[in-house]
A and B are shown apart, each in its own frame.
Chain A
Amino acid sequence: MNRWTGLIYVAAVFVFALAAYLASSGGADTLYNNYVRLADAWLHGRVWVNYAGPGIDALRYQGHLYIIEAPLPALLVLPLVAIFGLGANQALVCVFCGAAAVAAAYVMLGRLGVSQSVHVWVLAFFAFGTGLWWCTAFGAVWMFAHVAGVMFAMFGLVEWYGKRRAWLLGLLLSCMALCRFPMAIAALPFLAWLLQETPSRERLRVLAGAVAGALPLFALYVVYNELRWHTAFDIGYTNWYHLDPAGHPTGSPFGVQYLPLNLYSFFLLAPAYAQHFPWFVPTGIGVALTFTSPGMALAFFAPLRNREAIWLWVAVLLTWLPSLLYYVNGAEQFGMRHSLDFLPFLLPLVARGLEHRPSVFAYSLIVLSIAVNAWGLWYSWAFHGFTVVPRR
Chain B
Amino acid sequence: MKEPAFSTRSAIVFAAAFLGYFLLSRNDHTAYNNFVLLADAWLHGHVWIAKPESWIDALPYNGHWYIINVPIPAVLLLPLVAVYGANANQTIVSVLCGAIAVAAADVTFGRMGVSAFWRGRLTLFFALGTVLWWCAANGAVWMYAHVVAVMFAMLALAEWYGRRRPWLLGILLACAVYSRFPMVLAVPPLLVWLWLSAPAERRWRDLASFAYGFVPFVAASLGYNYLRYGSVMDVGYTLFYHMDAVGGGGKQYCTSCTYTGSPTGSPFALQFLAKNLYSFFMLPPQLIDQAPYFQLTGQGVALTFTSPLLFLALAAPVRKIESIVMWAAALLVAVPSLLYYLNGCEQFGMRHSLDFTPFLMVLLARGVERVPLLLSLVLLAYSLAANLFGMIHPFTPVPCG
Query: Is the CB of A383 closer than 8 A to any CB of chain B?
Result: no
Quick one: closest B residue to A267, CB to CB?
B305
CB-defined contacts of A360 to chain B, threshold 8 Å = 314, 318
Q: How far is the CB of B21 from chain A (nearest CB, A)?
A: 27
Nearest CB on B from A357, distance (A)? 7
CB–CB A290/B304 < 8 A: yes
Tell me, yes or no, whether B215 is within 8 Å of chain A by CB: no
Query: Are B367 and A361 touching (Cβ within 8 A)?
Result: yes
Q: Taking the complex as formed, is A58 at the interface, i.e. its CB lies under 8 A from any CB of chain B? A: no
Report the nearest B residue to A299, measured CB to CB. B375
B374 interfacial by beta-carbon distance below 8 Å: yes
Alpha-carbon distance A279/B281, docked complex (angstroms)? 13
Complex contact B287–A261 (CB within 8 A)? yes
**Given A260-B293, A264-B294, A269-B284: A357 in contact with B274 (beta carbons within 8 A):** no
Chain A, residues 254-274, CB within 8 Å of chain B (1/0): the string is 000000110010001111010
* Residues 262 to 285 of chain B near chain A (Cβ within 8 Å): 274-275, 278, 282-285
Question: Does B285 contact A268, Cβ atoms closer than 8 Å?
Answer: yes
* Chain A residues closer than 8 Å to B318, beta-carbon distance: 360
The answer, among A279, A301, A364, for a CB contact under 8 Å with B375, is A301
User: Which A residues lie within 8 Å of B375 (CB)?
Assistant: 297, 300-301
- When the two chains form their complex, are residues A361 and B314 in contact, meaning their CB atoms are under 8 A apart? yes
- Report B347 CB to chain A, min CB distance, Å: 16
| Complexed CA–CA distance, A154 and B305 (Å) | 32
A269 to B304, CA, bound (A): 12
What is the CA–CA distance of A261 and B293 in the complex, to the nearest angstrom? 8
Residues of A within 8 A of B259 (CB): 275
B49 to chain A, nearest CB (A): 35
B275 touches A268 (CB 8 A): no
Beta-carbon nearest neighbor of B287 in chain A: A264
Bound Cα distance A270, B294 (Å): 14
Q: How far is the CB of B394 from chain A (nearest CB, A)?
A: 19
B370 at the interface (CB under 8 A from A): yes
Residues from chain B with Cβ under 8 Å of A261 in the complex: 287
| B315 touches A (CB below 8 Å) | yes
Tell me if B282 and A300 are in contact (CB < 8 A): no
Q: Which of A318-335 contact B (CB under 8 A)?
A: none
Interface residues on A, range: 20 to 34
State the Cβ distance, A272 to closest chain B Cβ, in Å: 9
Q: How far is the CB of A310 from chain B (nearest CB, A)?
A: 13
- Provide the A282-324 mask, 1 if CB < 8 A to any CB of B, else 0: 0000001011000001001110100000000000000000000
Task: Say whether B67 faces chain A, with CB atoms less than 8 Å apart.
Answer: no
A280–B284 touching, CB < 8 Å: no
Of chain A, the residue at the smallest CB distance from B292 is A260
Q: Are A361 and B315 in contact (CB under 8 A)?
A: yes
CB-based contact B371/A279 at 8 Å:
no
**A260 and B287 contact, CB distance less than 8 A:** yes
- Are the CB atoms of A301 and B314 closer together than 8 Å? no
Please state if B282 and A270 are interface contacts (CB–CB under 8 Å).
yes
User: How many A-B Cβ pairs are below 8 Å?
Assistant: 64
A264 and B293 contact, CB distance less than 8 A: yes
Q: Which of A268, A271, A356, A357 has the most chain B CB within a 10 Å cutoff?
A: A268
Known A275-B259, A364-B314; contact A300-B372, beta-carbon cutoff 8 A: yes
Docked complex Cα distance between A268 and B14 (Å) = 34
Contact with B along A40-83 (1 / 0, CB 8 A): 00000000000000000000000000000000000000000000
Measured CA separation A288–B318 after assembly (Å): 29
> C-beta contact mask, A350-381 vs B, less than 8 Å → 1, else 0?
00010011011100100000000000000000
Tell whether, in the assembled complex, residue A301 and residue B371 are in contact, meaning their CB atoms are under 8 Å apart. yes
Q: Does B43 contact A (CB under 8 A)?
A: no
Residues of B within 8 A of A269 (CB): 284
Please, which residues of chain A bring their CB within 8 A of the CB of B294?
A: 260, 264, 268
Residues of the B chain whose Cβ atoms lie less than 8 Å from the Cβ of A273: 274-275, 278, 282-283
B315 touches A268 (CB 8 A): no
Contact of B278 with A280 in the complex, beta carbons under 8 Å: yes
A260: chain B residues within 8 A (beta carbon): 287, 293-294
B315 touches A300 (CB 8 A): no
Contact assessment for A270 and B314 in the assembled complex, using a CB-CB cutoff below 8 Å:
no
**A280-B378 Cα distance, complex, nearest whole Å:** 28
Q: How far is the CA of A19 from the CA of B327 in the complex (A)?
A: 40
Within 8 A of B (CB), among A211-262: 260-261
Query: Is the beta-carbon distance between B278 and A304 smaller than 8 angstroms?
Result: no
CA distance A271 to B312 in the complex (A): 23
Give the docked Cα–Cα distance between A302 and B375 (Å): 10
Q: Is the CB of A280 within 8 A of B274?
A: yes
- Complex Cα distance, B366 from A360, in Å, reads 14
**Taking A273-B275, A280-B278 as contacts, is the C-beta distance between A300 and B374 under 8 angstroms?**
yes
Q: List 23 A-B contacts (CB under 8 A).
A: A260-B293, A264-B284, A268-B305, A270-B278, A270-B284, A271-B282, A273-B274, A273-B275, A273-B282, A279-B278, A288-B284, A291-B282, A300-B374, A300-B375, A300-B378, A302-B372, A304-B374, A356-B372, A357-B370, A357-B372, A360-B318, A361-B367, A364-B314
Given contacts A359-B371, A360-B314, 17 further A-B contacts (CB under 8 A): A260-B293, A260-B294, A264-B284, A264-B287, A264-B294, A269-B284, A271-B278, A273-B283, A279-B278, A280-B274, A288-B284, A300-B372, A300-B374, A300-B378, A361-B314, A361-B315, A364-B314
B-to-A contact residues, CB < 8 Å:
259, 274-275, 278, 282-285, 287, 293-294, 302, 304-305, 312, 314-315, 318, 367, 370-372, 374-375, 378
- Ranked nearest first, the 10 interchain pairs of A and B with the lowest CB-CB distance are A279-B274, A260-B293, A270-B282, A300-B375, A361-B315, A273-B278, A361-B314, A268-B284, A270-B284, A264-B287
